[in-house]
Amino acid sequence: MISEIKYKKQICEIGKRIYDKGFVAANDGNISIRLCEDEFLITPTGVSKGFMTPEIIVKVNAAGEVLEGDYRPTSEMKMHMLVYQERPDIQAIVHVHPPYATAFAIAGIPLDQAIMPESVVYLGTIPVAEYGTPSTEEVPNAVKKYVYDHQGVLLENHGALTWGRDLEQAYFLMESMEFTAKINWIAKQLNGDRELSKKHVQTLVDMKTKMGIKGNSPIGVDTEPGVHAMKRIPPMEKNLSKQDLQTIVENVTKNILDELKKHL
């Protein structure tokens, strides 16, 4: 009972951190902790994460049934339970909508560039899980394929999700994800999102392995000897619709005819 009270207080503390940092607005986001194989603490639905108190935290089982608490658990509980089911080593999960990371999720761009040593070692690569309607099985199904080899995911047009050996780690991974996304965004505005060389990345990955940190890592870029980092521009692909093509043809044709008329 004492440990449960401690964990409930910790959930409230982390909830206030994510609210104060602007990782959520209003009643967004959800947090959970695994107590044992079939018991979990999770945040209630419809409550601001910045103003929670221990008594409103809900205890549920793996089937999502409420064991203790007067509130309904978050509607996105299925996503949490999927991670716990697939990863017995995971003890806590954080789901929020941090602005920069969520912008990458909306754009469908993974955080997989080797832009900083810290992100290579600690965060690794963060993929984009295919969009799913919140509270449905679509979200856990989209997350499932990434849960084994990563420490979190971007949820397409939705937000971000991280998991860890305890709640502090899950939260700090989220903080690291948002910081990495912000730095990445700023570097792109400067047209200078240079990535570390494959040689440097491999050295960092070796360090990561010795530290016991799991998860896929960025690969870096091929560079000439003595060049430590280089910009790699990802292909920007856009499929034009028939209407787009027709509009382009009509505009080009009109411009050509207008020019011809001037010389007749």
Instruction: Give CA–CA dist 66/2, Å, rounded.
Output: 20
Give the β-pairing of 159-164 and 194-196: unpaired
Give dist(CA 126, CA 103) in Å, integer. Answer: 14
d(CA 116, CA 94): 23
Spatial separation of the C-alpha atoms in residues 107 and 220, rounded to whole Å = 22
Residues in contact with 114: Cβ distance below 8 Å, sequence separation at least 6, in sequence order: 120, 195, 196, 200, 201, 204, 217, 218, 219, 220, 221
- Which is nearest to 231 in space by CA: 188, 261, 262, 177? 188
User: Cα-flanking dihedrals φ and ψ of residue 163, to 5°?
Assistant: -140, 155
Judged by DSSP in three states, 165 sits in: coil
State the catalytic residues: 76
